[in-house]
């Protein structure tokens, strides 16, 4: 399936019929679009699986369509509240993944204009409630790749500034390296109507609001996040992949980021990252960057506890035997600062 999730196909999706499958959330992780990194983070897969299930069930209660069916424990499909212990397996409805053709370093998206439904929309939709240190927005503004007006900002933002209203952004999903798009470009390559695009934007804002409120109950701040969508066989929009997890979102607790940004922060201090920055975007850039260094064992242990404690807090149940998030974050702070 990918660098951090595996897919078991139970029933192949067809042109006019949804399939059925199971996501197996692994303990692998990926940063900087590199792919699989050299370590595994114990408990990460189960934590993300159950947090995502929590939010899928919330969205369903709101009448928002998703590909979620349930969680798998001892061979049975269950709702989150029925689980007896942690699980890293989620049953989902499957759509087709149609891929743009790469021709001379450019991508041909014409297939998305020919097909009617039952496929993954080849875009990632991003919401931003704040611009934390490390946000790509600052680099894009510096390079002139985006303007304040395009972002809906009145003045140049400061790191960690809370925005008056969320910024929405969009990027490619199925290319070798994700790239940001204008809304017109996004609509064009995915074959979306104006009404469909506006409907997706409204859904992203609703999902953002839901995640923000739910994690806010336990003192977590939702800084930004991404959402993915697909068309079902009737061309109705549904939420797919995973949603509301520390890998899909950038969360903060008492001023400390509790997401993959912790790992990015450590890697940014390495020679490997400097090399990665020089070669990224070139042909075979992953091979040119070389193998990433392994994480220190203590950092691995604390990040593992971070994912587990985050899961306990968000789903409102001590499913993992681990310290409270507040105590884990104290240990994390000592390591990364």
Nearest to 68 by CA among 78, 191, 323: 78
Residue-wise pLDDT for 233-271, tens only, equals 999 999 999 999 999 999 999 989 898 888 988 999 999
pLDDT given for residue 282 in this prediction? 85
pLDDT given for residue 178 in this prediction? 85
Number of Cβ atoms within 10 Å of the Cβ of 161: 13
pLDDT given for residue 207 in this prediction? 98
Number of Cβ atoms within 10 Å of the Cβ of 285: 17
Q: Is the dihedral of CA 202, 205, 206, 207 positive or negative?
A: positive
Domains of the chain: 5-336 (3.30.470.20)
pLDDT given for residue 147 in this prediction? 87
3-class secondary-structure state, position 228: strand
Residue-wise pLDDT for 156-205, tens only, equals 888 888 898 999 999 999 988 789 999 999 999 999 999 999 999 999 99
Rounded CA gap, 231 and 237, in Å? 5
Rounded CA gap, 179 and 98, in Å? 18
Rounded CA gap, 284 and 176, in Å? 10
Rounded CA gap, 332 and 295, in Å? 14
CB 31 within 8 A of CB 37: yes
CB 128 within 8 A of CB 166: yes
pTM value > 0.85: yes
Give residue 288's Cα distance to chain centre.
Answer: 26
Where the chain has pLDDT below 70, the residues are 1-3, 134
Give residue 276's Cα distance to chain centre.
Answer: 22
């Amino acid at each position: 399936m990918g660098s951090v999730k595996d897919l078991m196909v139970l029933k192949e999706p067809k042109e006019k019929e949804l399939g059925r499958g199971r996501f197996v959330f692994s303990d692998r992780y990926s940063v900087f679009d590199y792919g699989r990194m050299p370590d595994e983070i114990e408990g990460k897969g189960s934590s993300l699986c159950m947090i995502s299930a929590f939010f899928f069930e919330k969205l369903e209660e709101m009448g928002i369509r998703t590909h979620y069916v349930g969680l798998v424990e001892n061979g049975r499909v269950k709702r989150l509240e029925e689980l007896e212990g942690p699980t890293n397996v989620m049953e989902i409805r499957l759509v087709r993944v149609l891929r743009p053709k790469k021709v001379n370093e450019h991508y041909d998206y014409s297939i998305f204009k020919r097909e009617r439904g039952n496929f993954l929309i080849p875009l990632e939709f991003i919401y931003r409630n704040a611009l934390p240190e490390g946000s790509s927005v600052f680099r894009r503004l510096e390079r002139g790749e985006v303007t304040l007006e395009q972002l809906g900002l009145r003045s140049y933002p400061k790191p960690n500034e809370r925005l008056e209203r969320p910024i929405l952004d969009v990027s490619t999903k199925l290319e070798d390296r994700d790239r940001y798009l204008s809304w017109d470009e996004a609509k064009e390559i995915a074959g979306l109507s104006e009404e469909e695009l506006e409907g997706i934007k409204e859904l992203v804002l609703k999902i953002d609001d839901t995640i923000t409120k739910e994690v806010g109950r336990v003192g977590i701040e939702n800084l930004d996040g991404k959402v993915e969508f697909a068309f079902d066989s009737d061309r109705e929009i549904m939420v797919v992949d995973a949603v509301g997890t520390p890998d899909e979102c950038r969360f903060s607790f008492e001023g400390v980021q509790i997401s993959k940004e912790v790992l990015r922060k450590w890697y940014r201090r390495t020679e490997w990252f400097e090399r990665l920055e020089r070669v990224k975007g070139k042909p075979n850039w992953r091979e040119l960057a070389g193998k990433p260094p392994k994480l220190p064992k203590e950092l691995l242990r604390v990040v593992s506890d971070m994912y587990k404690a985050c899961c306990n807090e968000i789903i409102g149940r001590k499913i993992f035997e681990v310290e409270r998030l507040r105590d884990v974050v104290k240990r994390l702070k000592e390591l990364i600062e």
